[in-house]
């Protein structure tokens, strides 16, 4: 839709420019004088452009989309098998979040959040290399792990919000 290469590493400015160009063509306001069918089609294309942009803008959604294009199933709903070391790390993070939340220790939660984001940054770098080299099986595992990390990050954010309230 945006004429960008199907790879993980994308230029954010190019994505923004391509999105604006597509939106300029399909935005419903541009088709206000068209009949009902024309306006409906414009609305559908505008919606698709927005969804595509949101998918490509988010690295986890972009990775999932690329894997789906290649026929690789993430299996997030029914496949919970993970590397034991990753599962142990998850348990440690979750316990640390619970402990810091229970102790109302905002500093500890902030540190956990910083550490988690640093870990995610490294994992996204590795994921990009896997995807762009065509290593789909390990990329699927990396995506599934990042889904878990996103959830832990959300949990930390909720804990911080609750403590700020």
Residue-level pLDDT at 43: 83
pLDDT tens per residue across span 86-134: 999 999 999 999 999 999 999 999 999 999 999 999 999 999 999 999 9
Residue-level pLDDT at 73: 86
Q: For the chain, what percentages of helix, strand and coil (3-state, to nearest 5) are there?
A: 80, 0, 20
Residues in Cβ contact with 140 at an 8 Å cutoff, skipping those fewer than 6 apart: 67, 72, 73, 74, 75
Residue-level pLDDT at 41: 83
Residue-level pLDDT at 18: 94
The pTM for the full model equals: 0.83
Ranges under pLDDT 70 in the chain: 31, 79-80
Structure tokens at 69: 């294009």
Which helix H or strand E contains 130, and what residues bound it?
helix 106-133
Residue-level pLDDT at 78: 72
**Of 136, 154, 159, 148, residue with least CA distance to 8:** 136
The DSSP output letter for 6 is S
């Amino acid at each position: 839709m945006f004429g960008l290469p199907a790879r993980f590493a994308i230029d954010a400015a190019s994505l923004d420019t391509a999105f604006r160009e597509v939106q300029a063509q399909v935005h419903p306001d541009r088709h206000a004088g068209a009949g009902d069918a024309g306006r409906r089609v414009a609305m559908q294309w505008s919606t698709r452009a927005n969804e595509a942009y949101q998918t490509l803008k988010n690295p986890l959604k972009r990775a999932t989309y690329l894997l789906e294009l290649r026929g690789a199933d993430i299996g997030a709903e029914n496949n919970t098998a993970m590397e034991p070391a990753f599962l142990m790390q998850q348990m440690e993070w979750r316990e640390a979040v619970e402990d810091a939340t229970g102790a109302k220790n905002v500093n500890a939660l902030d540190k956990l959040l910083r550490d988690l984001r640093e870990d995610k940054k490294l994992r996204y770098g590795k994921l990009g290399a896997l995807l762009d080299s065509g290593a789909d099986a390990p990329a699927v595992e990396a995506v599934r792990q990042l889904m878990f990390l996103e959830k832990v990050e959300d949990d930390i954010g909720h804990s911080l919000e609750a403590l700020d309230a």
